[in-house]
Amino acid sequence: MKSAVRIDTGELKSQAEQVAGLLKMLSHPNRLKIACELCAGEASVSALEARIGAAQPNLSRDLARMREVGLVVARRQSKSVYYRLADDRLARVIDALCAAFSTGGQKRSKRTRN
Amino acid sequence: MKSAVRIDTGELKSQAEQVAGLLKMLSHPNRLKIACELCAGEASVSALEARIGAAQPNLSRDLARMREVGLVVARRQSKSVYYRLADDRLARVIDALCAAFSTGGQKRSKRTRN
DNA sequence: TTTGATATATATCAAATACCATAATTGACA
DNA sequence: TGTCAATTATGGTATTTGATATATATCAAA
């Protein structure tokens, strides 16, 4: 068996510009980790800093960029600023990526977890 | 209902560097389209050029980069060079992205096409 | 009020990388 | 050789990145 499933990429191709832009946002380890963390719920900058282990200014800059394109939103509570996903766009992509990268690199043409 | 599903991002986070690198490869419209096209099977450079509508040298350079990281492989047949996916890594990601971006922005926490 | 502490944001800089268009080059073959 | 297909080289500009410094915001205590 070679490539069992035939994927219909038509819709993806037609949105290639936007999708590529979104992927670019996730094409840096820190931002990818941010997205993962925020999928679990709201988090403050310092919490993200601790979990991700990135320099705070860089984190802040990444969060600003994600905020500018409307992927995340911020909420200030006293000293801290809490970030969360703006909508389910990012969660869907992260979910899809989790599916694609789950269980190491097991060869499998259909998703097993469903 | 707000964010129905809790996604387990642990595995994704632990591979963040590699995944981010792969996403970077897909973070340009042309390369994303290349990946889509090759999911459908082998294609020559000129065929890709025609379908994607990108300048041929740029296409060649993108293909070279994808080749360098082992995502695609090339095969020469007389004058033409035919590219195909090296393994199912890219197909899995593209498949996942198709799932994430299918049907506009329909809310859905589990993949429907399985 | 000021002062100090903490949390976050913004600014800046140099190095690296990415991108595009164009030109030159290579490989295969009639 | 000449031509087609593809690759590589080149130059220019723009963006990204990490590191560092500085600025702003909030609150509490003095």
pLDDT digits (tens, 9 = 90+) for B90-113: 999 999 999 999 885 554 444 444
Contact with chain B for residue A96, Cβ under 8 A? yes
Q: Show which of residues 47-76 on chain A sit within 8 Å of chain B, judged by CB atoms.
A: none
Specify the pLDDT at position B6.
86
Confidence (pTM): 0.90
Is the confidence at residue B4, as pLDDT, over 90? no
Instruction: Kindly report, residue by residue over B21-38, the tens digit of the pLDDT.
Output: 999 999 999 999 999 999
CB A80 within 7 Å, strand D = no
Q: Which residue has the tokens 């899995």?
A: B92
Contact with chain A for residue B97, Cβ under 8 A? yes
Residue B56 to residue B100: CA distance in whole angstroms? 30
Specify the pLDDT at position A49.
97
Q: Which residue of B has its CA nearest to A87?
A: B3
Does B1 or B58 have the greater pLDDT score? B58
Mean pLDDT of chain B: 90
Expressed in angstroms, the distance from the first to the final Cα of chain B is: 24
Percent of chain B with pLDDT over 70: 87
Does A60 or B3 have the greater pLDDT score? A60
Is the confidence at residue A109, as pLDDT, over 50? no
Q: Which of A20, A100, A105 sits opposite B29 (nearest CB)?
A: A20
Q: Up-side HSE of residue A68: CA atoms within 13 Å toward CB?
A: 8
Residue A12 to residue A18: CA distance in whole angstroms? 10
Return positions of chain C under 7 A from a protein CB: 6-11, 18-24, 27-29
Set of chain A residues whose Cβ sits within 8 Å of the Cβ of B3: 41, 85, 88, 91
Residue A74: pLDDT band by 50, 70, 90 thresholds? Answer: very high
Contact with chain A for residue B78, Cβ under 8 A? no
Residue A34 to residue A63: CA distance in whole angstroms? 8
Q: Are B105 and B60 in contact (CB under 8 A)?
A: no
- A19-23, A71-75, B62-66, B99-103: least confident range: B99-103
Is the confidence at residue B66, as pLDDT, over 60? yes
SS3 per residue for chain B: CCCCCCCCCHHHHHCHHHHHHHHHHCCCHHHHHHHHHHHCCCEEHHHHHHHHCCCHHHHHHHHHHHHHCCCEEEEEECCEEEEEECCCHHHHHHHHHHHHHCCCCCCCCCCCCC
Crossing angle of helices A16-25 and B29-39, in 10° steps, is: 110
Residue A113: pLDDT band by 50, 70, 90 thresholds? Answer: very low
Does A104 or A16 have the greater pLDDT score? A16
The average pLDDT across B48-65 equals: 97
Specify the pLDDT at position A1.
58
Q: Which residue of B has its CA nearest to A36?
A: B9
Q: Select from B3, B9, B18 the residue whose CB has the most chain A CBs within 10 Å, as the one to mutate to test that interface.
A: B9
Q: Provide CB contacts within 8 A for B91, sequence distance 6+.
A: A3, A5, A7, A109, B39, B85
CA B75 to chain A, closest CA, distance in angstroms equals 17
Return positions of chain D under 7 A from a protein CB: 4-9, 16-22, 25-27
